[in-house]
Chain A
Amino acid sequence: MQITINGNDKQVSQHATVTDLFNLVAINPEQVVVEHNGSIISPADYDQTTLNDGDVIELIQFVGGG
């Protein structure tokens, strides 16, 4: 199935979780915040949050800014 991560289309397996996404894109979960279809996901829920075809994920992190 296909999901959108930060504007990029990605193929993921059925029943993939948010935790699986971190492996897919090689990102340390401790350094990002996750939005799943516009809702913020708590780190405690990464394992239980399964993805569906067409879902939109945003991975956000801190950068320098004034």
Chain B
Amino acid sequence: MDNLQIANRTFRSRLMVGTGKFSSHQAMLDAMEHSGCDIVTVALRRVDINNPQDSLLSHIDQDRYLLLPNTSGARTAEEAIRLARLARAAGCEPWVKLEVTPDPYYLLPDPVETLKATEVLVKEGFVVLPYMPADPVLAKRLEEAGAATVMPLGAPIGTNRGLLTRDLVAIIIEQAQVPVVVDAGLGAPSHAAEAMEMGAAAVLVNTALADTPDPAAMARAFRKGVEAGREAFCAGIGPKRQQASASSPLTGFLRNES
């Protein structure tokens, strides 16, 4: 499979993995290992000072995985910018998966606040990967603001419903000058393969791996789905036809032909 280029970095894997909702750190690490991923997302939260836990970072090999902090929980551009700055202060590379989701029920990204935050963070030197509604016009605006990728949703976060936004994602891919990473809502390897066959540069999954009895096996399945989809896209998928086009010769049948 060909490499993925984002900003100034090259990655072998086109599958990014979220670290939330796993039943244990070991289950998370197994899923990361078996997915073959190079990029993992993490979130920032207040320490529970009455019951402090080990930081997630003590479990993740940062020489092997690029940590991509997200701004989950932010409801405004201002809150997202604050979280991105905190992540950088924690010693992360200045990469951020920008999420601004004011609506608690569908967690849909706010396009206006996402664009505002992208403009500010790019100026501050961040590599910004914004989670966004599957809106081709917004994708261009984010690209013009300096986003390193665009990350349209397939379906609302954690729903496992697949690429419900397929036709709009196709337009985003057609027009984008930056990698298109389909994020959110992909629940099965076939969903990931579908996005990759369309020309998505990568996909990001979390719930699909974390919320299964065997995250490592599902991670392997997603890895294969992503690789199959990418190779098919690069090979070039044949045209669709209305009428049959015989695969076997149409001459030499066991009957006399007139």
Nearest-Cβ distance from residue B117 to partner chain A, whole angstroms: 17
A60 and B45 contact, Cβ closer than 8 Å, known pairs A33-B86, A35-B86, A66-B72: yes
Contact of B18 (CB < 8 Å), options: A7, A62, A65: A65
Min Cβ gap B215→A in Å is 12
Interface, chain A (partner B; CB < 8 A): 5-8, 25-28, 31-33, 35, 40, 42, 58-66
Distance, CA A28 to CA B52, complexed state (A)? 9
The reply to whether B204 and A40 form a contact with Cβ atoms under 8 Å apart is no
Contact of B52 with A25 in the complex, beta carbons under 8 Å: yes
**Does any Cβ of A come within 8 Å of B160's Cβ?**
no
Residue numbers of B with Cβ under 8 A of A are: 18-22, 28, 41-50, 52, 54-58, 67, 69-70, 72, 85-87, 89-90, 157-158, 184, 204, 206-207
Of chain B, the residue at the smallest CB distance from A40 is B89
Q: Which 6 A-B pairs have the closest CB atoms?
A: A65-B43, A66-B18, A66-B206, A31-B55, A64-B19, A64-B20
B52 touches A65 (CB 8 A): no
What is the CA–CA distance of A42 and B46 in the complex, to the nearest angstrom?
Answer: 17
Q: Which residues of A contact B41 (CB under 8 A)?
A: 65-66
Q: Which residues of B contact A32 (CB under 8 A)?
A: 47, 55, 90
**How far, in Å, is B121 (CB) from chain A's closest CB?**
15
CB pair B19–A66 under 8 Å, yes or no, is yes
Residues of chain A within 8 A (CB-CB) of B22 are 64
Query: What are 7 A-B pairs with beta-carbon distances under 8 A?
Result: A6-B48, A33-B44, A60-B44, A60-B46, A61-B47, A62-B67, A66-B184
